[in-house]
Structure 1
Amino acid sequence: MEMKKPIRIDDRIYLIDGFDLGKPERTGTYVIEEDELTLIETGPSPSVKYVKSGLDSLGFALEEVKYIIVTHVHLDHAGGAGLLVRDCPNAKVVVHPRGARHLAAPKKLAAGARAVYGESFTELFDPIVPIEEDKLIVKGEGEELKIGSDCTLEFFDTPGHAKHHFSIYDPVSNGIFTGDTVGIRYQQLVRDGIDFFLPSTSPNHFDPVAMQTSINRVRALHVDRIYFGHFGMTTKIDKALDQVSEWLDVFVEEGEKVYASKGGYAELANRLVFRVKEYLGSIHVSDEHDVYYLINLDMQVSSLGIIDYFQKLKI
């Protein structure tokens, strides 16, 4: 895959495309240029070479990296943290209290991803490198991290997608890095002038009530920007949060129907893809649009999480 120049969001924040799944504009690493050079998300291990190349093209040495923050420990966001920090001698990895043990001993995390991704696991995620505990910093609800003379990041516990998920508020840009909690932004459609956002309901911690609470919490912060793990930044805050809330209701509604009829995740994925295509078709998006590679995959993984949620409810 050809290396891409990092995207300049403003005079201190950049986005490096990690080519997760071998696809552009899927998962990115944010670079915050402050006194303490800070990265948010690493992507999976195969993305680390792109992160290193991106840092180099921006003129940063790996020795300059001080903090690598992961919003949660799912492998598409944090799987490369162990590999990257190994080459960043002055860096520490910042993680949610529930996530630290998984980065120190990632065997269980890897087993869960292997169950979801099957034979594709090795290509998508290997190697998964444990992180020494003295390299980890835990940040919980309301805690802060000073990275510059005028920049102190604040951490908010934002479950719903995962219990080990926080979001990071940046006061300088009045923006928040939300990982997967408030959904996915499809850059492939933004190029066509369409802003489209869907929730991410992957297993095995998906909780729609907690997710909606987290969405409401982000809304109450009155931020000017949301920085998505997948992919890029939006200033259209109300539109993004409204869409994710509305689609969250659709996901749960369809999931309840499929579960009640003893259907499986494949049936649910098909129903969700149909609903999405129906909507996008109504605003003249072709069924052949390249965004559907990602949407089809996302609906499969999200369906696993929704069915898992209803199984746990035992209704």
Structure 2
Amino acid sequence: MGAKLKRLDERITLIDGFDLGLANRTGSYVINEEELTIVETGPSMSVPHILEGLKELNLHPQDVKYIIVTHIHLDHAGGAGLLLNDCPNARVVVHPRGAKHLVDPARLIQGAKLVYGEDFDRLFEPVVPIPENRIIIKNDKETLTVGKNCTLTFYDTPGHSYHHFSIYDPVSNGIFTGDTIGVSYDESLKDVGIQLYLPSTSPNQFNPDDMLRSLERIQRLHVSKIYFGHFAESEHVDEVYKQIKQWLPQFVKVGKEAMDTQPGSVQKEVTKNLYQLIKNELRNHGVPDDHPVYEFIKLDTSVCAMGLFDYFQKQQKNR
């Protein structure tokens, strides 16, 4: 098969998990310290890519000590249980609100089926439960020592989901942010030299105020690198913060307008309007209409629309 690897430095390597069958979509990070650590597994279909990547790095699955998942959405953590079968000495590190759903993933599966419908089995099966004794819970500001000179710190960062933390790596002065401060399309757009970072407003725990607070918390850490779940690293941290702060209110505005004017077809309307909004911006920067990035954007705007609809429904119920 052959893994697609991107060595970010002498310690950290990104393995492309080909989530949804797409390159540059979702990745797992290998931190090669004394305690071999993987951040994010992707879905179960990504596990063979991780194992192949370890092999190409001359690393052994039995040496993996920690598998960290930023949150429990299946495109980030769905393969954790399956990967454990090949990593007998590893334990999974998770947010306190996510642990029970890794032990019993029934509700997690049910929620994902609402989003992905009949494609669920093809994209995510199997979702293997994780034994409780192989789970480590990390609360806000708790740490994990993975090497003599490397102690990771966990920060509670809701907004995308309640069960989300971000992980600060002091050696690279970088942070693994999952989906909390959005999605990077840099890898897809590098041929045209455009940077694009968009918020991820997927269901069903999206909250724009929490997302902004989490972004500002990360910003106060003065990191040099952001390691995205989707996809790869960015050293343009100020540009990330700037774009997410610009796009987030626009996403919320599109959702609110659709709720007010198109109550019978909110998701369809939001998907269409978000997609057009982003496409207009990329056109202004000279990105052609047939560029492959639009495949990702179509998918992401559809899922973001579901989350915006869910958010405004809850807002209405709480009035």
The number of equivalent residue pairs is 314
Query: Paired residue for 2:310?
Result: 308
For 1:67, what is the secondary structure of its paired residue? strand
The match for 2:269 is 267
> Tell me, what secondary structure is at the counterpart of 2:168?
strand
Q: Which residue of 1 is the match for residue 22 of structure 2?
A: 23
1:282 to 281, 284, 287: 284
Q: Which residue of 2 aligns with 1:217?
A: 217
TM-superposition CA deviations, 1:152-205 (whole Å, max 9, x none): 000000000000000000000000000000000012012321111000000000
- Say which SS state the counterpart of residue 256 (structure 1) adopts: helix
SS of equivalent residue, structure 1 residue 156: strand
Task: Quote the offset at 1:272 in angstroms.
Answer: 0.2
- Counterpart for residue 150 of structure 1: 149
Specify every segment of 5 or more residues in structure 2 that has no aligned partner in the other structure, as ranges.
none
2:126 alignment counterpart? 127
SS class of match (1:233): strand
Which residue does 2:41 correspond to in 1?
A: 42
Per-residue deviation, 1:61: 0.7
Deviation at 1:63, TM superposition (A): 0.5
Q: What does residue 256 of structure 1 align with?
A: 256
Q: Distance in 1 between matches of 2:127 and 2:190?
A: 33
Distance 1:145 1:81 in 2: 19
Question: Which sits farther off after the overlay, 262-271 or 29-38?
Answer: 262-271
Distance 1:189 1:235 in 2: 15
Among candidates 290, 299, 302, match of residue 301 of structure 2: 299
C-alpha contact (below 8 Å) 2:226/2:237 kept by paired residues: yes
Q: Write the distance in 2 (CA, Å) between the matches of 1:39 and 1:190.
A: 26
SS in 2 for 1:155: strand
CA RMSD of aligned residues (A): 0.8
Q: Distance in 2 between matches of 1:292 and 1:73?
A: 26
Deviation at residue 260 of structure 1 after TM alignment = 0.9
Counterpart Cα distance in 1 of 2:175 and 2:256 = 32
Give the Cα–Cα distance (whole angstroms) in 2 for the partners of residues 212 and 56 of structure 1.
Answer: 39
Using the alignment, how far apart are the partners of 1:127 and 1:56 within structure 2? 23
Which runs of no fewer than 5 residues in structure 1 stay unpaired? none
CA distance in 2, matches of 1:32, 1:250: 36
User: Per the alignment, in what secondary structure is the counterpart of residue 158 of structure 2?
Assistant: coil
Letter in 2 for 1:19: F
Deviation (angstroms), 1:86: 1.6
1:76 to partner: Cα distance: 0.1
Task: Output one character per residue of 1:61-84: Cα deviation in whole Å (capped at 9) or x when no partner.
Answer: 110100000000000000000000
Deviation digits for residues 194-246 of structure 1 (CA, Å, limit 9, x no counterpart): 11100000000000000000111111110000000000000000101110111
Structure 2 contact 3–52 (Cα < 8 Å) conserved: no
CA contact (8 A) 2:3 2:50 kept: no
Deviation of 1:3 (Å): 3.1
- Counting only pairs closer than 5 Å after superposition, residues 115-264 of structure 1 correspond to structure 2 as 115-186=114-185, 187-261=187-261, 262=263, 263-264=265-266
Tell me the distance in 2 between the aligned counterparts of 1:215 and 1:288: 32
How far residue 4 of structure 1 moved from its aligned partner, in angstroms, is 3.3
Instruction: Name the structure 1 match of 2:87.
Output: 88
Counterpart of 2:247, as a letter, is W
Between the aligned partners of 1:111 and 1:223, the Cα distance in structure 2 is 36
CA–CA separation in structure 2 for the residues paired with 1:222 and 1:82: 34
State the Cα deviation string for residues 85-106 of structure 1 (Å, max 9, x = none): 1210100000000000000000
**After TM superposition, where is structure 1 displaced by more than 4 Å over at least 4 residues in a row?**
none
SS for the counterpart of 1:137 is strand
Contact between 2:79 and 2:127, CA under 8 Å: does it hold in 1? Answer: yes
TM-score where L is the length of structure 2: 0.97
Give the SS at the match of 1:161. Answer: coil
Partner of 1:63: 62
Determine what percentage of the aligned residue pairs are the same residue: 53
**CA distance in 1 between partners of 2:84 and 2:3 (Å):** 22
**Residue aligned with 2:249, SS:** helix
Residue 245 of structure 2 aligns to which amino acid in structure 1? Answer: S
Kept in 2: contact 1:182–1:199 (CA 8 A): yes
Asked if the contact 1:85–1:91 (Cα under 8 Å) also holds between the matched residues in 2, the reply is: yes
What SS class does the counterpart of residue 54 from structure 2 fall into? helix
Q: Distance in 1 between matches of 2:92 and 2:50?
A: 15
